[in-house]
Structure 1
Amino acid sequence: MGKKLGRLELVADNVRADVGNEWCIRKLSIRNPDAELKAAGKWTTVDDNNVTNLTYALDVNDAGKLLERFRFTHVLRIAKGHMDGDINWKGLPFSTNIPSLSDQFNLDMQEGQFLKVDAGAAKLLGVLSLQSLPRRLTRDFRDVFSTCFTFDNVVGTATIAQGKVTTDNFRMRSVAATVLMSGSTDIAQETQHLEVTVLPEINSGAASLVVLPINPVVGIGTFLAQLFLREPLMRVFTHEYEITGPWTNPLVKK
């Protein structure tokens, strides 16, 4: 792999399977100063076809330095938090196949900064931090959308099916505004179809409502309806966008 990932612990048994060959991964642990990954699952081989299934938990001390270990430099500054989920793909455990990738995960990151993203797989972070929005639309939100987006927290749940990420409750909060996002993005094709809502911080009362957790069951739409019912003024200052097309040249409708 050519990457300094830290201390690795692996406990696995070759178990008997009705068809093919199966390794039971009882413990997979990777630890370094920036993060600790704990996982368990199985690796199955049938007729030279490999499938990997893992349940994992990732505790992050410094997401920026963690990404640098994977040679994604100047992508994210600091940020600590937690991510967990269930992931599977067609392939070996050490060789992820994006088109077949499936996952269901929870994310909770605190106090970081998205830097300018323009290369490789790290482009996905550029999508999530909305750096791809045309300048004509970000001109009125310089404190929100900029080359470097500083956030207090990023939380949400999402699913990945065949390399396509879908969410109904992704949220980023900064001093200037809260950004709510729902929709999907295709990692392999580098395309997106997202609904983005920007709620500027206009007073302490409204802000206290905006930072409330979004119920994963009801999603962003119901959350906004409840918010506008309690704080009608927020509707006036709220901006909604539909973002479609390729990551590098998105079509934005306001």
Structure 2
Amino acid sequence: MQDWQLTRLQLSTPEASFSANGHWAVQARASALPSDPRAPRPADDPRRTLLHFKLDIRDAGALLARFDMPGVLARGQGHLDGSLGWTGSPFSPHYPSMQGQLKLDVGAGQFLKADPGVAKLLGVLSLQSLPRRLTLDFRDVFSSGFAFDHVRGDVVVQRGIASTNNLQMKGVNAGVLMEGSADLDQETQDLRVLVVPEIDAGTAALAATVISPAIGIGAFIAQLVLKQPLIKAATREFHIGGSWDNPQVRRVGQADRGAGQDTGAAVPSTAPAAVNQEDKP
């Protein structure tokens, strides 16, 4: 077996700069390995790719357009850094074996109205499924594309499941807090989303606060939001399950909480995209 070391890789475009280092453990005889990168890997497959990287973003929208994903995002400047490893070569990422961590911090941009089949994971973040599925009292916040001051959070990847407990987006009219997971291989999601319309200085401060991954959204909400009746009354909570291109949205209302449901608990991704009459705004 050989071990290829990548000591330094740098790529630069007008939209972004990418730097990385890592290594690739290469099996001497790989003829028996499956040709399909999504197929299961043998248990004794010693091939392993590990990559540490940093992406400095000058224009996220233009960068996505360069990778044949136009009309998904406008503007956006910041960085994405972390490390990822998987079984197999650097040229065929194997999602079921993937693990690592990521940190995202991008400011001043806007999610655009895009086909769900384009940049599917970004479609999850854009929350366009909310106005498609529900009649909301803040429809104008998302339906024309959510404009944000920042999108930031930490993500942990284990066996192809990307999880976060502190992803937040700050917009002009609302703040969004998100926790849950996304299956990178199956392209499904299981997310808890809280939308806090900006109605006073308290909600503005809430949306601008950096949430530590050690605390998470659940504890943050319990400590800050629920102690302030005005913020509590304005906050809307949703569960988003199903596939990335056909998300299933369910409003989590006061009736659910009154029945003793733990709103932080996972809801099956098969939850129906329906809203009870008493849950409507």
TM-score w.r.t. the length of structure 2 is 0.78
Which letter maps to 1:145? F
Instruction: State the 1:229 CA deviation.
Output: 5.2
Residue in 2 aligned with 1:79?
76
Residue in 2 aligned with 1:194?
191
Residue in 2 aligned with 1:206?
203
Instruction: State the 1:120 CA deviation.
Output: 4.6
**Alignment of 1:29 onto 2:26:** no
Residue in 2 aligned with 1:8?
none
Residues 2-151 of structure 1 aligned to structure 2 (within 5 Å): 20-46=1-27, 47-48=29-30, 50-118=47-115, 120=117, 122-133=119-130, 135-151=132-148
Residues 177-192 of structure 1 aligned to structure 2 (within 5 Å): 177-192=174-189
Unaligned runs of 5+ in 1: 1-19
Kept in 2, the 8 Å contact 1:117–1:125? The answer is: no
SS in 2 for 1:205: helix
Corresponding residue pairs, total: 235
Task: Give the Cα–Cα distance (whole angstroms) in 1 for the partners of residues 13 and 212 of structure 2.
Answer: 33
Task: Give the Cα–Cα distance (whole angstroms) in 2 for the partners of residues 97 and 119 of structure 1.
Answer: 23
**Alignment of 1:172 onto 2:169:** yes
**Alignment of 1:248 onto 2:245:** yes
Kept in 1, the 8 Å contact 2:196–2:203? The answer is: no
SS in 1 for 2:141: coil
User: Mean Cα displacement is larger for which, 91-100 or 182-191?
Assistant: 91-100
- Identity of paired residues, percent? 49
CA RMSD of aligned residues (A): 1.8
Residue in 2 aligned with 1:6?
none
Task: Give the Cα–Cα distance (whole angstroms) in 2 for the partners of residues 133 and 119 of structure 1.
Answer: 13
Which letter maps to 2:50? N
Task: Give the Cα–Cα distance (whole angstroms) in 2 for the partners of residues 21 and 226 of structure 1.
Answer: 52
Residue in 2 aligned with 1:233?
230
Deviations 1:208-245 (A, max 9, x none): 23311111101001111121255331001111111112
Residue in 1 aligned with 2:220?
223
Unaligned runs of 5+ in 2: 31-44, 252-281
Deviations 1:77-122 (A, max 9, x none): 1100011101112232233333333230110000011112325561
SS in 2 for 1:226: helix
Task: Give the Cα–Cα distance (whole angstroms) in 2 for the partners of residues 131 and 91 of structure 1.
Answer: 35
Question: Kindly tell me: are residues 138 and 98 of structure 1, through their superposed partners in 2, closer, same or farther at Cα, counting changes over 3 Å?
Answer: farther
Deviations 1:135-193 (A, max 9, x none): 35253222321141111100000112232211101101101100100011112212111
Which letter maps to 2:91? F
Which letter maps to 1:197? L
Task: Give the Cα–Cα distance (whole angstroms) in 1 for the partners of residues 66 and 95 of structure 2.
Answer: 20
Structure holding more strand per residue: 1
Task: Give the Cα–Cα distance (whole angstroms) in 1 for the partners of residues 167 and 242 of structure 2.
Answer: 19
SS in 1 for 2:199: coil
Kept in 1, the 8 Å contact 2:96–2:160? The answer is: yes
Kept in 2, the 8 Å contact 1:138–1:145? The answer is: no
TM-score w.r.t. the length of structure 1 is 0.86
Kept in 2, the 8 Å contact 1:206–1:231? The answer is: no
User: Mean Cα displacement is larger for which, 116-125 or 219-228?
Assistant: 116-125
Task: Give the Cα–Cα distance (whole angstroms) in 2 for the partners of residues 165 and 178 of structure 1.
Answer: 22
Task: Give the Cα–Cα distance (whole angstroms) in 1 for the partners of residues 100 and 142 of structure 2.
Answer: 29
Kept in 2, the 8 Å contact 1:190–1:247? The answer is: yes
Structure 1 segments of 4+ aligned residues over 6 angstroms from their partners: none
